[in-house]
Structure 1
Amino acid sequence: MEQPDYSLESAARQRGFMRIAGVDEVGRGPLAGPVTAAAVILDPANIPNGLNDSKKLSAKKRQAVEQQIFDRAEVAIAHASVEEIDEINILRASHLAMERAVAMLDPAPDYLLIDGNLIPRGLQLPSEAVIKGDGKSVSIAAASIVAKLCRDRLMVDLAQQFPGYGWESNAGYPSKQHKDALQVLGVTQHHRRSFKPVHQMLYQD
């Protein structure tokens, strides 16, 4: 299995950049809840063990690696709300969450490695978009792990307030349980009204 490494960061360091942040978001696909982004600056002399794309790690492994990330790296996490997702669309909202996470790092990073094929337009720093970056860059992998776990916990909290949708296990994604519950329990304020299954329920003839 291919593992992410520090080579993209090393290349940026050779060009004179020192504070290199990996940036990733999670939660574009769910029908409910915010979209969450993280920005992480790793210490090249103290990189956590076991960093990988969060989707390739077991829950137990993710939590162990997350603890190392918080102990050894600079981390910022931010969200864009359901209202913002519905207002500006999910792509812009995910970029907004990324912009907010980067803005929280202090001192500011001087170079960004961003997961995906687009650089958010609000980021005015030297940046590089990295397709499938969480499998290539340890900094992006670290961001993917902390963003996912933060958002998962948020959805567990919301599940206690709005039981029945299965958010504690599906994190708001359109699982069968979630879609069935929408039919029975209806739409909550945490549902994304611009997303088709929710939109159709609200505005069907």
Structure 2
Amino acid sequence: MTAVRPSLRVEKRLLGSGRVTVIGMDEVGRGAIAGPVAVGVAAVTVDVGRVPQGVADSKLLSASRRDALVPVVQRWAPTAVGMASAEVVDRQGIVPALGQAGAAALARLVAGGVSLDGAVVVLDGSFDWLSRAVPTALLAGVDPLDVVVRVKADRDCASVAAASVVAKVARDALMVAAHEDAPHYAWASNKGYGSTAHYDGIRSAGAHALHRTSWLHQASTVALDGFEELGAVG
């Protein structure tokens, strides 16, 4: 699959309208059955440099290319990643979990010196799951945070594509590390998504603490035939 090269056209239009900072935001891991959902952010201002060569929606890039791009992206723009655990997804649902992860990413961005005053968030997709989740304390002294949703923003907007790359690499690294303690789920290859090997591991070893248990019960009865009899393991 050929990667579409994103641009700064949308970001520059927003900056030209008086915005001080444009924060691209994207999530990864939304459809996984194990592990956290992760949200990445990348902040650009009027003095942003040219888009680094090769930046694209993380889904269109190989793992090695994503890994190589992270330090390049981090030199190009301030970035951060926030996560919400599988437990949060089970307890609160995926939309609140996305909001919590997004708010955490913004908090890390602020801690790194990026101001939200005069900022606008460009959020990939068609639904604003962020605004209601951002704590008032994070916005103290700041105008209400403006969020713009845009379908295919991870394909078209360089800041959002960059955010998707850092989020994907961070989450994948977590799942690969978890694989060492639970290799039967094949997380090093499936990263928590529902592959055949992953479901085979659940049938043979039971559910792990990193599994979104409610999602397993909602999964296909063919893939998880007999799951109700499986116990949870550490």
One fold, TM greater than 0.5? yes
Match of 1:142 in 2: 162
> 1:126 aligned to 2:146?
yes
Structure 2 distance, partners of 1:202, 1:10, is: 52
- The 3-state SS of whatever aligns with 2:214 is coil
Does the 8 Å contact 1:102/1:108 carry over to 2? no
Task: Indicate the larger mover: 139-148 or 93-102.
Answer: 93-102
Matched, 1:32 2:34: yes
3-state DSSP class of the match of 1:113? strand
Gap runs ≥5 in structure 1: none
- Structure 1 position 194 matched with structure 2 position 214: yes
Give the match for residue 88 of structure 1: 92
Matches within 5 A, 1:31-180: 31-42=33-44, 44-106=48-110, 107-109=114-116, 110-119=119-128, 120=130, 121-123=132-134, 124-180=144-200
Of 116-125 and 155-164, deviating more is 116-125
Aligned length: 204
Q: Offset at 1:192?
A: 0.4
The structure with the largest alpha-carbon Rg is: 2
- Per-residue deviation, 1:46: 4.5
Q: Aligned partners of 2:146, 2:73: CA distance in 1, in Å? A: 24
- Offset at residue 157 of structure 1 (A): 0.6
What amino acid maps onto 1:178 in structure 2?
H
Q: Deviations over 1:30-88 (max 9, x none)?
A: 11101111111135224322111111112222122212011221011110011110011
Q: Distance in 1 between matches of 2:22 and 2:12?
A: 9
How far the C-alpha of 1:6 sits from its partner, in A, is 0.4
Asked if structure 1 preserves the Cα contact closer than 8 Å seen for 2:8 and 2:51, the reply is no
| C-alpha distance in 1 between matches for 2:115 and 2:50 | 20
CA RMSD between the two structures:
1.9
Q: Alpha-carbon deviations, 1:92-125, whole Å to 9, x = none?
A: 2112211211122123331110111112222441
Q: Which moved more, 1:87-96 or 1:174-183?
A: 87-96
Deviations 1:169-196 (A, max 9, x none): 1001000000111111111111101102
Provide the TM-score with structure 2 as the length reference.
Answer: 0.82
Aligned amino acid, residue 44 of structure 1? V
Q: What one-letter code is carried by the residue in structure 2 that aligns with 1:68? A: V
Using the TM superposition, name which of 144-153 and 1-10 deviates more.
Answer: 1-10
Q: Quick one: which amino acid aligns to residue 107 of structure 2?
A: A
Specify which of 4, 17, 20 is matched with residue 19 of structure 2: 17
Provide the C-alpha distance between the structure 1 equivalents of 2:174 and 2:91, rounded to a whole number of angstroms: 21
Structure 2 unaligned spans of 5+:
135-143
- AA aligned opposite 2:149: A
Amino acid at match of 1:144: S
Give the counterpart letter for 2:73 in structure 1: I
Q: Deviations for 1:127-186, whole angstroms, at most 9, x for unmatched residues?
A: 100112110100000000000010000000111011110000100100000011111111
Percent identity of the aligned residues?
A: 34
